[in-house]
Amino acid sequence: MTAALPSAQMRDALALWLQGMRALSGASGHTVDAYAQDVGQFLGFLAGYHGGAGGLRQIAETSQTDMRAWMATERNAGISSRSLARKLSAVKSFARWLAEREGFDISAILAARAPKYSRNLPRPLSEAAAREVIALAPLQSREDWTGARDTAVITLLYGCGLRVSEALGMIGRDLPLRDVLRITGKGGRERLVPLLPAARDAVATYLRLCPHDLVPDAPIFRGTRGGPLSRRQVAKVMEQTRLQLGLPATATPHALRHSFATHLLGAGGDLRAIQELLGHASLQSTQVYTAVDTGRLMEVYTASHPRARTQRQ
């Protein structure tokens, strides 16, 4: 069975839904593109599966058999359980929106269950390793100002729990830095993050050495030619640093954000407060760090408790 082109009416409905996502939910361009592809492929499957494109009622008439056939087709194409769960979530969101507009019953679509998959836990660095990364990062550059730049970015990731995009998205208008950063994260959600003195000092050192003019609407962090600093350059610095320190491949720039959260939790930080600092929309996203902390606790227990050592012998 090959996919077919959805009807013009269905394509128009999809475009309207995506337009609403951009305008109302503040979804990023990458998110909207992914939803467009996922739902578009599903609608193409329905059209092909039923031998032709139908109108909007094709969604209302979708059965559990249709959903099982679509999911089986995706799995046979090599789609992972995690990716299929993401696709199903997108399909349900679109179907729910369409049902509210048209008065459809979409019970069969909503009843479809996502495949189970093991969620990869974040791999934070130890506190000592995080400090070593910050200390070694400036040595990856030949010029003092780029070394100071890399130190400032990495200190913001670990010291403030910023995403790489959030650190690189800081502009001249954000200066001078105060005790609290106002960060706009995923979904356009704003949050306030305390700025540690070490992070403020690292940024100040970079600003003093930076040879480029820092205008209000331009990024603070610049590449060697004056353009915006790229995510790839930050990843390259981290890669060189972790190789020199003998850290695993999981020691990425994003791992510094994980380390920020994990170390706060380990020091007795409140989960709700950590959620706010990270900018997570739901507590469920933050709760993954409790599993990380528990996992580390079990490692320590197994390595040090007399009874555990006896059982291993």
CA distance 37 to 296: 39
Has 212 been annotated as catalytic? no
Has 113 been annotated as catalytic? no
Has 289 been annotated as catalytic? yes
* Beta bridge pairs of residue 228: 222
DSSP secondary structure string, 17-68? HHHHIIIII---HHHHHHHHHHHHHHHHHHHHHTTS---THHHHT--HHHHH
- Per-residue pLDDT tens for 56-112? 888 988 999 999 999 999 989 888 888 888 899 999 999 999 999 888 899 999 998
pLDDT for the residue 163 = 87
What percentage of the chain has pLDDT greater than the value 70? 81
Catalytic site residue from 49, 158, 206, 289? 289
Nearest to 152 by CA among 111, 85, 88, 208: 208
Catalytic site residue from 186, 212, 236, 296? 186
pLDDT for the residue 71 = 92
pLDDT for the residue 288 = 58
Has 225 been annotated as catalytic? no
CA distance 304 to 156: 34
CA distance 219 to 169: 6
- Per-residue pLDDT tens for 229-276? 999 999 999 999 999 999 888 889 988 888 888 887 777 766 677 777
Catalytic site residue from 163, 191, 200, 242? 163
CA dihedral 46, 52, 57, 58 (to 10 degrees): -10
CA distance 71 to 302: 41
Locate CATH 1.10.443.10 in the chain: 127-302
Locate CATH 1.10.150 in the chain: 8-111
Has 86 been annotated as catalytic? no
Catalytic site residue from 86, 96, 212, 254? 254
The superfamily in CATH containing domain 127-302 is Intergrase catalytic core (1.10.443.10)
Is CATH 1.10.150 the classification given to domain 8-111? yes
Structure tokens at 117: 């998959």
pLDDT for the residue 207 = 95
Has 30 been annotated as catalytic? no
